[in-house]
Amino acid sequence: MTEIEDESGTVSAAAVAEIVRALTRGVDLDRTALARGLEHHPDLIDSFSDLSSTMTRWKQKDRERSALLESASELIRVRDTEKLLQKLVDRAQTLIGCDIAYLSQYYPETDDLRVQASRGAISANLKELRVPPGVGLAGQVVRDRAAQWTSNYDLTRLPHERRVDSAVKAERMESLLGVPMVVDGEVLGALFAANRYPHDFTTDEITLLSALADHASVVLKTAQLMGDLAEAAQASAEAEETAAAQASTLQRLVEVEEQLTQLVLQGQGVPAVLDAISKLLQADVIVVDSGRLGSPNFPADEEFFDGIAVDNADVHAALSHSRATGRSAQVDGAQHLYVASVASHRRQHSGLFVRFTDEPADGDANIVAQAAQTLALIRMNEQARADAENRVRGELAVDIIAGTRDLSELEARSRIGSFSLSGPWRLMTIQGDSDNDDRLGAHLVRIEPRILMTQRSPGITVLLPSAVFRDRPTLDTLFEESGALDSSLVIISDTDYDRKQLRTAEDEMWSCIRILNSLGISEGIFPTEDFAPYTAMFGTAPEQVERFMERMLGPLRRWDRTHSAELLSTLREYFESGMNIRSTATRMSVHVNTVKQRLERADLVLGQGWRAPERAFRLQVALRLDKLKSFL
């Protein structure tokens, strides 16, 4: 056997070789194992023990380097942030050999730390832990941006907080090491290693945990950058999508504008625009004029609004907003109902109402406003043409009635070529609201385009060619049933007049209106022939009608009021019975003596001469006027 000699004696070479082989295999040798082979050679035992410890540290360093390299490789390969952080925490627990490892992310907006990943925890408190600013060892790590550790957490003088202490107690932590996660001076969080027993953390453990924290920092920073890039890409995609949608909407609006412009240039009217808008928007469309808008029953009396709970005030509020802004407006309380004001040069705004079946698309509200502007342009053009035609009609009517211009000259100026200006004519005089004269005239022209009109100080004089009545014998009835003449006082003539007779006939008809006004009559349609006698008597002074009636009948009225008599009605029946007492009694269903007594009282009231022909005539006229007044 080969022996090796040292100062303490000889030692077996085989024993030394066995120890060397064990070291090369990575076996950890303690002093007891070395003493069995080396017996009483303390120097060799010390040397081999140091060598074993050194090799153990080298192996640990090698494992740590491999773990760090593997971690770095994972940073490149793996894109799942949660998985990476969990792997780092798992690796920290394994390499350091601690009971618990966990990672907390720092949220600057709330200035607190929140646990994102953990390994070795035995309670749910740690996973839900949120550490307020400046509290505990974690708060100091973030504040100082340096590693902090303690071998006994309960004995630390750091600020404590109930929820944090509760989580530490639930995990039975005693020793705790925390290192910051910092990138470019920005604190992203902290990585922690903890044991459930007192432990003094070594420099190697602190260095290793700091290296893993650096890797975790890269993960979080990369995640932040990727999140920022994703948000930027999302914002860019949304902006691009929005721009494309806006461009598409703008293109659609341009096409609609071109289509509406073509309708105007083609001379199309309101129905064509409404039909086009209804098809474009796939919606129901209606135009409501100012007169119907002002009705107290609007919109309840419009079938268009059936099934919509909409208030009159909400409609007018939306119309006012549209007038002020020039845009369409949604009616409050009606999700799919839009309105736009249609302007007029007479400031009589109509309303364009659009009822969508579904939620309106982008740009639909603008199309409603475009349609309203187009309708306003058409209305203004129509009104301008109507004004020009009415001006010509008025001038022709004035010249025809006056008879001062040659007929050939008037024919040359006339734009109405469907009938002759030579006559004969029928007349109509209309007294109504002067503010509505234009609207009334336009309504009459729509019913019969061949009429001429001129405004007079009391109202409108209308000339109708007699030939029109041969074509349309019910024209008077059409005028009456149209509603255009409601609330107006109208005198019509069934007589055909030559041009030379028109001025006199017109004066008589206006005199008739003045006579009816003096009787308190302000509306209705009456033939002028029915009032010819009164016009002949009072035509030049219609204001005297009331005074005449008071002078003739006043004493009888006062007697009737004072004595509860019926003298006025008895005298009316007496004259209408041909001054026959018995017929009067029969008509009044009274006794003959009663009539005689009333006539005797009339002698007392009026005097004995009231039966004389001349006075009886005037009394009969007054009685007829009184009856006419009460009847009308």
Cα-based torsion angle of the residue sequence 534, 539, 543, 544 in order, rounded to the nearest 10 degrees: -60
Q: Give me the pLDDT at residue 48, please.
A: 66
Q: What phi, psi does 263 have (nearest 5°)?
A: -60, -40
**Taken in order 205, 208, 209, 210, is the CA torsion positive or negative?**
positive
pLDDT band at 91 (very low <50, low <70, confident <90, very high): confident
The domains spanning 78-228 and 267-381 adopt the same CATH topology: yes
Each residue of 292-313: pLDDT tens digit? 777 777 877 777 888 777 888 8
How many CA atoms are closer than 13 Å to the CA of 202, on its beta-carbon side? 8
Question: 422-445 burial string, b = 16+ CB within 10 Å, else e?
Answer: ebebbbbbbbbeeeebbbbbbebb
Enumerate the domain spans of the chain. Answer: 3-65, 78-228, 267-381, 416-538, 544-631
Query: Which CATH code, of 2.60.40.3120, 3.30.460.10, 3.30.450.40, 2.60.40.10, is assigned to 78-228?
Result: 3.30.450.40
Q: What is the mean pLDDT of residues 129-147?
A: 87
Long-range pairs of 310-314 with CB within 8 A, sequence gap ≥ 24: 310/334, 310/337
| C-alpha–C-alpha distance, residues 323 and 334, integer Å | 19
Q: Of 528, 539, 551, whose CA–CA distance to 615 is shortest?
A: 551
Q: Give the pLDDT band of residue 194 (cuts 50, 70, 90).
A: very high
Instruction: Kindly report, residue by residue over 6-40, the tens digit of the pLDDT.
Output: 555 566 666 667 666 766 666 666 666 666 666 66
197 pLDDT tier (thresholds 50, 70, 90): very high
Choosing among 1.10.3470, 3.30.450, 3.30.70, 2.60.40, the CATH entry for 267-381 is 3.30.450
Measured in degrees and rounded to the nearest 5, phi and psi for residue 215 equal -65, -45
**Hey, which residues does 178 pair with through a beta bridge?**
148, 192
Read off the pLDDT of residues 438-493 as tens digits, 9 standing for 90 and up: 777 777 777 777 778 888 877 888 888 887 777 777 777 777 777 777 788 888 88
Q: Are strands 452-455 and 337-342 parallel, antiparallel or unpaired?
A: unpaired
Compute CA 503 distance to the chain's CA centroid, rounded to the nearest angstrom: 58
511 vs 373: CA distance, rounded Å: 46
Say which amino acid occupies 174.
E
User: What confidence score (pLDDT) does residue 577 get?
Assistant: 87
Strands 489-492 and 524-527: parallel
At 102, the pLDDT band (50, 70, 90 cuts) reads very high
Query: Residue 283 pLDDT > 90, yes or no?
Result: no
For residue 126, what is the DSSP state? T
Phi, psi for 464 (deg, rounded to 5): -115, 120
Best-predicted range by mean pLDDT (80-89, 454-463, 508-517, 580-589): 580-589
Residue 87 corresponds to which amino acid? K
How many angstroms separate the Cα of 630 from the Cα of each of 51, 298, 439, 542, 626?
140, 35, 31, 18, 6
60/515: higher pLDDT: 515
Asked if 426 and 496 touch (Cβ cutoff 8 Å), the reply is yes
Quote the CA–CA distance of 400 and 407 in Å, as a whole number. 8
Q: What's the pLDDT tens digit per position in 222-241?
A: 777 777 787 888 888 888 88
Beta strands in 232-303 (DSSP E): 283-288
Question: Are the C-beta atoms of 194 and 99 separated by less than 8 Å?
Answer: yes
Which residue is it, tokens 């009971």?
A: 99
Q: Model pTM?
A: 0.48
Checking if the pLDDT of 365 tops 70, the result is yes
Residue 345's pLDDT is 60
Question: pLDDT tens-digit profile of 528-562?
Answer: 766 666 665 655 555 566 777 787 888 888 888 88
pLDDT of the residue at 1: 44
pLDDT at 99: 93
The alpha-helical segments, DSSP class H, found in 113-202 are: 136-144, 162-171
CATH 1.20.1250 is right for the domain spanning 416-538:
no
What is the average per-residue pLDDT within 395-421? 72
Give the C-alpha separation, 579 to 218, whole Å.
127
> Can the peptide bond before residue 180 be classed as cis, meaning omega within 30 degrees of 0?
no
Greater pLDDT, 531 or 144:
144
Compute the residue count for the chain: 632
Q: Does position 249 have pLDDT exceeding 90, yes or no?
A: no
Longest dimension (CA), the chain: 189
The pLDDT, as a whole number, for residue 348 is 66
* 512 CB neighbour count, 10 Å cutoff: 26
pLDDT value for 101: 92
At residue 405, what are phi and psi to the nearest 5 degrees? -120, 150
Q: DSSP string spanning 534-561? A: HHHHHTT-TTHHHHHHHHHHHHHHHHHH
Closest-CA residue to 247 (of 353, 363, 154): 363
